[in-house]
Amino acid sequence: MNDPGMNFDDLEVAPGFEHENLQGLRFDDPAQLGEALEKAFDYRGDVTIRKKDGAEIEGYIFDRSATRVRLLPRDGGGKMAVAYDDIAGVAFTGRDTAAGKSYQAWVQKYFERKAAGDKNIELAPESLD
């Protein structure tokens, strides 16, 4: 049953949001750590977690719960968990692989090369390294 007050055409487009450039930022203030860890979960690059004992772990955060984050360490070794109570700081040290990228820019590059007479056009993605 359709709700007469709903316009389903308006539901076809989800509202967007502005991407925050976090690369290079560091959060060491205990009052900001919760927000920083939430942003780290959405970040598409590696972060460095500084633990209260001074140890640092660089990796990609792929999961979080009410008490810990889980990450894939950059140096390998499998998944690991770090309790929020053990974290002293977070730094966004890795390259954000999605920053500044868009499908529109990719297509524009294709058409520019085509207009320039390029016959063997192959648009390969950038290396992540």
Q: How far is the C-alpha of 106 from the C-alpha of 63, rounded, in Å? A: 30
pLDDT of residue 42: 86
pLDDT of residue 79: 94
Taking 70 as the pLDDT cut, the residues of the chain under it are: 1-19, 98-104, 122-129
- The separation between CA 121 and the C-alpha centre of its own chain, rounded to angstroms, equals 29
Report strand pairing: 80-83 vs 68-73.
antiparallel
- Taken in order of first residue, the domains within the chain and their CATH numbers are 26-91 (2.30.30.100)
